[in-house]
Chain A
Amino acid sequence: MIASSLSRARTLPLSGQVGLALVLFWLAVALFGPMLAPYPVGAFVAYDVFDGQSAAHWLGSDYLGRDVLSRLLSGARYTVGLAAAAAMLASATGTALALTAAVGGAKVDEPLSRFMDMLISIPSKIFSLVLVAAFGSSLPLLLLIAAITYVPGNYRIARALAVNLAQMDYVQVARARGEGRFHIAIAEVLPNMIHPLLADFGLRFVFIVLLLSGLSFLGLGVQPPDADLGSLVRENISGLGEGALAILAPAVAIATLTVGVNLLIDALPGRGKGR
C-alpha cells in the first residue's frame, strides 16, 4: 500500500511532488504542531516586540513579544482543520444534492439547479460577508458559512458528472432491474465520480483557506483568543513598516499550503476541470 503510493508519487511531475510534499508537511503540522511548539501559545516570552530570527525564537517575536513559531504551529491547526471540515461539508452537501437531482428527474433537478445557479452568481467573498454580518463569526458558524458559500460550486460540477453517468447503459440496466433511486445514486453513480470529486474537494479546500484567512485578516473571521493564520497576519500588521517576520511568516505559511494543494491537483492525471 505504502510502496504503491510511493511509486505513484514518483510518477508525478516535479511541481506535483513539491505540491505533495507541501500538503503532507502542513497536514503533519496541523496534527502534531501544537505538541512541537517550543512555548505556550499565549505566553509573553521575548523582551522585545517584533524581534528578528534568533536561536530562542526561530521566527522571532510578535507585537506582544510572543513566540511566532509557537503561534504559527497552533494557528495552522485552525486554518487546516476549519478549511478541511468546511470543504468536506460543502462537498458532501453539494454532491448529495447533485445525486438527488440526477436521479430525481426534472421535477427535482430544475428548481434545485435554478436555485444553485442563483447562489453561484453572488461573488463568494460578498456572500460570506453578508452571512457573517447576519450570523456572527464563532468557529462553528465560520465553518458553516464557508461550507454554504462553496456548496453551489461543488453542486454544479457534481451534477454535470452525475447527469452524464445517469444516462449510461449500466445505470439504465440497473433501473430496468428495478433498483431504487437511492441504490442507483449511491452504488451505481457515486463510485464513478470519486476521482474528479476529489480534485474538486482540493479546489474547495484552497478557496476556503483563502476565504477564511481573508475574513480573519479583516477581523471578521476567527476571534481572539483563538487565532488562525489569517488572524496572525492581522494582529501583527503594525509590524509591516519594519518588515517584521511576525507578519511575513503566517502569510507565507498560508501561501505554501494553498499553492501546494494547487500544484498537486494540477499534476494529478485526468483532473476535473473546476472553475
Chain B
Amino acid sequence: MAGGSSQSGMKAALVLTGKRFASSLLTLLLVSVTIFVIAQLLPGDAAQEALGQSATPQQIAALRHDMGLDRPAYVRYASWLTGMVSGDPGQSLVANMPVSEVIAERLPNSLLLAALTALVAVPVALAIGIGSAMNRGGRLDRALNVVTLSMVAVPEFLVATIAVLIFSVKLRWLPSIALASEEMTWGDYLRGVAMPILTLSVIVIAQMARMTRAAVIDQMDRPYVEMAVLKGVAPVQVVLKHIMPNAIAPIVNAMALSLSYLLGGAVIVETIFNYPGLASLMVNAVTSRDMPLLQACAMIFCAAYLLLMLIADVTAILANPRLRAQ
C-alpha cells in the first residue's frame, strides 16, 4: 500500500461515510413524516380529548384554533419538525408542561441505564462469542448455541420475573423496584438498578454473543488463519494476534447492531421495575394518548436506532480493505 493510493482510499471511505450519513438523515426525516401521519390518524383530536364529551362545538373550535389544530396538516408538520429540531417539541397534554422538560428529566436516566448495561454486556458477550467460536462444533459451542438461541426468544418479563424471584424474594439482596432520585448515593443507585441492568444484559448478551461468534468464525475460515495454524501458532495466539485485529470491525458492527435490542427491551424492563426512564415515559404517553410526548419519544428512539446502524455501517466501511487499498 503506497502513500498515494492509501490517501485516495481514505478519500473514498470518507465520501462513502458522508453518503451514508446523509442517507441516515434522509431516513430520519421520512421516519418523522411517518410518525406524524400515524399520530394524526387518531379519531377525534387533542382539543376534543381535552374538553371531554360535554364541550360545545364552539368551545372545541376555539381550543383547536388556540392549539393550532385548524391549520392544514403540512403546516402543522413543518412547525412540529422545526420545533423538534430547535429543541421544543410542543406541550405535553397530560403533564401540562413542555415536552422538552419532561424528557430532559427522564433521558439521562435511560442513557445511564443503557451505558451501564453495555458496560456489563459487552465483555461477557465477547467472552462467550469468542470462546464458542474457538470451540466450534464442540460440546461447549453447541451448548452455548442452544442457550443463546433460547435466550433470544425468551420474553423480557420472564427474565425480569425470575431475577426478582431469585434476588429480591428468595435472597433479599436487591430491591424489586428501581427508583432513581437526586438524593441517592451511587451505592443506592447501583443496588436499585442492578436488576434492570441484569435483565437487559441477559437479553442483549445472547444476541451479541451470537453475532460475535459469527464474526470470528467468518475470519477463521480465511486462508491466513489456516496458514497460521499450519505453521504451528498456538490456538490462543491465533485468535489474539491473527484473528482479532481483523475481526474487530465486524465485532464493533455486531455490538452496534445488537445494542439496538436495548431500545425494545427497555420498554418492558423500565416498566416492570418502575424505572423513571424514557421508555416507561413513552408507555405512559401511549396509555394517556399524549401525542406530542409520544411523537417526541418515538423520534428519540428512532434517532438512537439510526445512530447505532450508522456506527455499524461506518465501521464496516472504514474496515473494508478494498477501500483502503484502492
Asked whether, in the complex, the Cβ of B176 is within 8 Å of the Cβ of A241, the reply is: yes
Tell whether A220 pairs with B283 under 8 Å between CB atoms, given A134-B38, A240-B164: yes
**A15–B298 Cα gap in the complex (Å)?**
38
B7 in the interface (beta carbon within 8 A): no
Distance A124 CA – B282 CA, assembled complex (angstroms):
14
The verdict on A206 contacting B286 (CB below 8 Å), with A247-B161, A252-B158 known, is no
Contact A130 B294 (CB under 8 A): yes
* Residue ID in chain A nearest B309 by CB atoms: A121
Q: Which residue of A lies closest to B264 (CB)?
A: A125
When distances are taken between beta carbons in the complex, the residues of chain A under 8 Å from B267 are 125-126, 129, 214, 218
Q: Does B180 contact A (CB under 8 A)?
A: no
A15 touching B155 in the complex, CB below 8 Å, given contacts A117-B27, A123-B302 = no
Cα–Cα distance between A125 and B286 once the two chains are bound (Å): 12
Which of A23-31, A86-94, A259-267 interfaces with chain B? Answer: A259-267
Pick the residue among A210, A237, A263 that contacts B149 (CB under 8 A). Answer: A263
Please tell me if A118 contacts chain B, counting CB pairs below 8 Å. Answer: yes
Bound complex: CA A210 to CA B203 (Å): 13
Chain A residue with minimal CB distance to B165?
A243
Q: Which of B28-36, B50-58, B79-87, B183-191 contacts A (4 or more CB under 8 A)?
A: B28-36
Determine how close the nearest CB of chain A comes to the CB of B196; give it in whole angstroms.
15
B149 to A123, Cβ gap below 8 A? Answer: no
Q: How far is the CA of A255 from the CA of B156 in the complex (A)?
A: 10
Contact partner of B27 (CB less than 8 A), chosen from A118, A217, A240, is A118
Q: Mark B158-200, 1 if CB is under 8 A from A, else 0.
A: 1001001100011000001000000000000000000000000
Q: Which residues of A contact B306 (CB under 8 A)?
A: 121
A210 to B260 alpha-carbon distance, docked (Å): 16
Residue B34 contacts which of A118, A218, A255 (CB distance < 8 angstroms)?
A118
By size class, the interface of chain A is 35 or more
CB atoms of B157 and A214 under 8 A apart: yes
Contact across chains for A126 and B157 when beta carbons are under 8 A apart: no
Answer yes or no: B324 CB below 8 A from chain A CBs: no
A134 to B42, CA, bound (A): 5
A98 touches B (CB below 8 Å): no
Q: Given A126-B301, A214-B268, A220-B286, are A255 and B154 also a contact pair (CB < 8 Å)?
A: yes
- CB neighbours of B152 from chain A (8 A): 262
Please report which residues of chain A, range 211-258, place their CB below 8 angstroms from some CB of chain B when the two chains form the complex: 213-214, 217-220, 230, 233, 237, 240-243, 247-248, 251-252, 254-255, 258
Asked if B39 contacts A121 (CB within 8 A), the reply is no
Whether B77 is near chain A, meaning CB under 8 Å from some CB there, is no
Residues B287 and A118 in contact, CB atoms below 8 Å apart: no
Q: How far is the CA of A125 from the CA of B157 in the complex (A)?
A: 14
> For residue B27, which residues in chain A have a CB less than 8 angstroms away from its CB?
117-118, 121
- From B39, B170, B268, A133 is in contact (CB under 8 Å) with B39
Say whether B227 faces chain A, with CB atoms less than 8 Å apart. Answer: no
Which listed residue, A129, A255, A266, touches B283 by the CB 8 Å rule? A129
Residues on B with C-beta less than 8 A from A210 are 153, 155
Q: Contacts A240-B176, A242-B169, A255-B155 given: A134-B41 contact, CB under 8 Å?
A: yes
**Complex CA distance for A225 and B263, rounded to whole angstroms:** 30
What residue in chain B is nearest A210 (Cβ atoms)? B155
Q: Which of B170, B283, B291 has the most CB of A within 10 A?
A: B283
CA–CA, A124 to B39, complex, Å?
Answer: 16
A126 to B146 Cα, complex, angstroms: 29
Of the candidates B146, B176, B271, the one having the most CB atoms from chain A within 10 angstroms of its own CB is B146
Tell me the residues in window 125-140 of chain A with beta carbons closer than 8 Å to chain B beta carbons. 125-126, 129-135
Which residues from chain B sit less than 8 Å from chain A, CB to CB?
A: 27, 30-31, 34-35, 38-39, 41-42, 145-146, 149-150, 152-158, 161, 164-165, 169-170, 176, 260, 263-264, 267-268, 271-272, 282-283, 285-287, 289, 291, 294-295, 298, 301-302, 305-306, 309
What is the interface of chain A, defined by CB distance below 8 A to chain B?
Answer: 15, 117-119, 121-126, 129-135, 206, 210, 213-214, 217-220, 230, 233, 237, 240-243, 247-248, 251-252, 254-255, 258-259, 261-263, 266
Given A130-B286, A255-B158, list of 8 further CB < 8 A pairs? A121-B306, A126-B267, A129-B294, A135-B41, A214-B156, A230-B157, A243-B169, A263-B149
A-B contacts, 26 of them at CB < 8 A, read A118-B27, A118-B30, A122-B31, A122-B34, A123-B263, A123-B302, A123-B305, A125-B264, A125-B267, A126-B264, A129-B267, A132-B286, A134-B41, A134-B42, A135-B41, A214-B156, A214-B267, A217-B157, A230-B157, A241-B169, A248-B161, A251-B158, A255-B150, A258-B154, A259-B149, A263-B146
Q: Which 5 A-B pairs have the closest CB atoms?
A: A258-B153, A125-B264, A251-B158, A262-B153, A133-B286
